[in-house]
């Protein structure tokens, strides 16, 4: 009779036998992916491996094919992992080198835009592991496990290539040259010419935990260390200089459309800086300049042109079509007041360098040793998700990492920061941090600030520079007033700006330097009614 304590656990003998059969099948047919034996594949996928706790994120799940999570189906209306897994198994088995064996295709928690999966490869003894110019390890006496992450868009346009895949490869390869801790690209395909018919990337799996999964469980001293390490990362971005503002992309003639397990970086590899583009449906290029004011002015001019052509949002109401040009003109007027007041003089225009647009806890990997409360030697193992990476002047890159001390939501004021600033939580005036945080949170913020230079702290907290960043978000991404939080954020910005101008007008004798606008009750009524019409 079977031991009840062992029921439901994998049989190691069975696992070894299946592994041996799998490897033999691949060696006998080296030119074919060994997935023709459906029974073998299903047995393989149904095998549950024990998950070791070291160097693996807590959200990594290795399910059986029957119990695979249905989150992709429930939240995104996509096929379940149960259906997705065999397809991915076939794809990976078909691109890895002949002597390398695929040992696991497991589910990982993805994001809103990308579907991901955990991949494990058995690298053969006596074979060096070098990919894209990086030596992972020299030839070993025994087989070595290589961990990777498969990443693909949740909503690909089937049959249509995705040039951003090649751009992501270019960005990560370039950042590796500067010594930044980013994942190596093992393989990618920006076309749909593969067995799944979608563009994808296969990335090195960085060891450790995503910071947002464990930050709440760290001790105060560990959180202070995290704050210092995050400040160090921000400082390291300054070393990757750009000639002008814009999005970092791969030079189209120097980046292959696809690549798998190549040992070296492609000959002639090169990245370029693309000018910014405004608009979602009708896209207008923004002519380059090293001046923040000039670029923002050109952005608002573009938005006004788009709005006057009634191309902001398809099928928008007539009232909103007439309002959008007025709103962008008012934002442009705020920009002019900032210029008159001297916001763009001095250090505001300098030091164009690397900016990670999603530099939050979810994209920071920290060492697994941080799980021990007494350990203060852990490091940041890497930064992930470099989509939309840009070069920006330092003042636009200096938003404080307020999520370090605001991660828990409501603080001593009992008012959630999102209710106060609607998407601009990182731009709270520094004086407000002092009274809204408790003693521990102030210590975390102090540790972060200590890791920065005085000039960077000045760019981060001085009120004029905070206003530049708040306005930059509207210049770069526009104003789309379809939902309540968008209307709240826009109206709150104009209210805050009016209060600021009135409080400081005694410093500026010019009438033009004290211009502001308020949202009339009639205008706010139209905006609110527009939201309700979208909810019907």
- Please state, in angstroms and rounded to a whole number, the distance separating the CA atoms of residues 187 and 149: 10
- Whether residues 149 and 221 share a domain: the answer is no
Please report the pLDDT score of residue 68 as a whole number. 38
Among candidate residues 132, 155, 178, the one where a domain is terminated: 155
Dump pLDDT digits (tens) for 259-274. Answer: 999 999 998 899 999 9
Q: What is the pLDDT of residue 415?
A: 55
Q: Minimum mean pLDDT among 42-56, 375-389, 430-444: which range? A: 42-56
pLDDT tens-digit profile of 304-350? 999 888 777 776 777 788 889 999 999 999 999 999 999 999 887 88
Which secondary-structure segment (H or E) carries 122? strand 114-123
Do both 248 and 391 map to the same domain? Answer: yes
Q: What is this structure's pTM?
A: 0.83
Within-domain flag for 187: no
pLDDT in tens, 152-170: 987 777 777 888 999 999 9
Question: Side by side, which strands form the sheet with 353-355?
Answer: 271-274, 246-250, 390-392, 353-355
| Same domain (yes/no): 377, 273 | yes
- What's the domain count of the chain? 2
Under 8 Å CB-to-CB from 230, ≥6 apart: which residues? 364, 380, 401, 404, 448, 451
- Kindly state whether residues 351 and 222 are assigned to the same domain: yes
Assess whether 368 and 514 both reside in one domain: yes
**Rg, C-alpha atoms of the chain:** 26
Whats the size of the chain, residue-wise?
A: 536
For residues 260 and 365, state if they share a domain.
Answer: yes
Identify whether the C-beta of residue 146 lies closer than 8 Å to the C-beta of residue 127.
Answer: no
Quick check: 175 and 240 in contact, CB under 8 A? yes
**Residues 131 and 219 occupy one common structural domain:** no
* Residue 198, domain member (yes or no): no
Domain housing 50: 4-155
Statement to judge: residues 385 and 509 lie in one domain = yes
| pLDDT band for position 36 (cuts 50, 70, 90) | very low
Which among 264, 435, 455 is positioned nearest to 445, based on CA atoms? 435
- Domain of 478, CATH number, reads 3.90.1200
pLDDT band at 27 (very low <50, low <70, confident <90, very high): low
Establish if 189 belongs to a structural domain: no
CA distance 55 to 298: 47
Average pLDDT of span 163-189: 95
Query: For 10-38, what is the mean pLDDT?
Result: 48
pLDDT band at 301 (very low <50, low <70, confident <90, very high): very high
User: Of 155, 179, 203, which marks where a domain is finished?
Assistant: 155
Asked if residue 133 and residue 224 are part of one domain, the reply reads: no
User: Which pLDDT band holds residue 501 (cuts at 50, 70, 90)?
Assistant: very high
Tell me, yes or no, whether 302 and 378 share the same domain: yes
Whether 145 and 237 share a structural domain: no
Q: Are residues 226 and 345 in the same domain?
A: yes
> Distance (Å, rounded) from C-alpha 336 to C-alpha 436?
32
Residue 115 lies in a domain: yes
């Amino acid at each position: 009779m079977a031991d009840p304590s062992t029921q439901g656990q994998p049989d190691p003998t069975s696992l070894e036998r299946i592994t041996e059969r799998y490897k033999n099948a691949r060696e006998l047919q080296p030119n074919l992916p060994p997935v023709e034996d459906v029974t073998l594949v299903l047995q393989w996928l149904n095998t549950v491996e024990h998950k070791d706790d070291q160097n693996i994120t807590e959200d990594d799940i290795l399910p059986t094919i029957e119990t695979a999570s249905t989150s992709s189906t429930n939240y995104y209306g996509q096929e379940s992992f149960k259906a997705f897994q065999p397809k991915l198994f076939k794809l990976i088995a078909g691109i890895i080198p002949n002597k390398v064996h695929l040992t696991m295709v497991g589910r990982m928690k993805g994001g809103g835009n990308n579907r991901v999966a955990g991949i494990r490869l058995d690298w053969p003894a006596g074979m060096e592991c070098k990919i894209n110019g990086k030596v992972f390890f020299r030839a070993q006496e025994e087989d070595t496990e290589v961990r990777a992450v498969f990443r693909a868009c949740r909503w690909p346009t089937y049959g249509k290539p995705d040039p951003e895949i090649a751009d992501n490869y270019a960005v990560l390869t370039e950042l590796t040259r500067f010594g930044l801790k980013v994942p190596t690209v093992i393989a990618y395909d920006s076309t749909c010419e593969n067995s799944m018919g979608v563009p994808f990337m296969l990335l090195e799996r960085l060891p450790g935990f995503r910071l947002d999964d464990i930050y709440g469980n760290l001790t105060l001293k560990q959180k202070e260390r995290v704050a210092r390490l995050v400040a160090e990362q921000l400082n390291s971005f300054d070393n990757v200089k750009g000639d002008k503002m814009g999005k970092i992309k791969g030079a189209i003639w120097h980046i292959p459309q696809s690549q798998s397990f190549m040992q070296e970086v492609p000959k002639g590899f090169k990245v370029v800086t693309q000018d910014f583009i405004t608009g979602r449906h009708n896209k207008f290029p923004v002519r380059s300049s090293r001046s923040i004011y000039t670029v923002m002015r050109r952005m608002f001019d573009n938005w006004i042109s788009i709005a006057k052509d009634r191309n902001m949002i398809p099928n928008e109401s007539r009232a909103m079509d007439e309002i959008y040009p007025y709103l962008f003109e008012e934002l442009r007027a705020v920009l002019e007041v900032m210029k008159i007041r001297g916001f763009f003089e001095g250090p505001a225009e300098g030091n164009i360098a690397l900016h990670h647009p999603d530099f939050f806890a979810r994209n920071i990997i920290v060492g697994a040793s941080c799980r021990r409360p007494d350990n203060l030697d852990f490091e940041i193992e890497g930064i992930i998700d470099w989509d939309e990476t840009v070069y920006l002047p330092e003042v636009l890159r200096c938003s404080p990492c307020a999520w370090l001390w605001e991660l828990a939501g409501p603080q001593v004021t009992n008012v959630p920061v999102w209710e106060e600033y609607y998407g601009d939580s990182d731009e709270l005036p520094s004086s407000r941090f002092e009274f809204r945080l408790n003693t521990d949170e102030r210590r975390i913020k102090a540790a972060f600030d200590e890791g920065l230079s005085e000039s960077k702290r000045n760019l981060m907290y001085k009120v004029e520079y905070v206003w530049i960043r708040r306005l930059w978000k509207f210049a770069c991404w526009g104003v789309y007033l379809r939902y309540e939080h968008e209307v709240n954020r826009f109206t709150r910005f104009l209210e805050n700006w009016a209060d600021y101008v009135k409080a400081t007008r005694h410093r500026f004798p010019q009438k033009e330097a004290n211009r502001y606008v308020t949202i009339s009750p009639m205008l706010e009524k139209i905006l609110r009614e527009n939201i309700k019409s979208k909810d019907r």
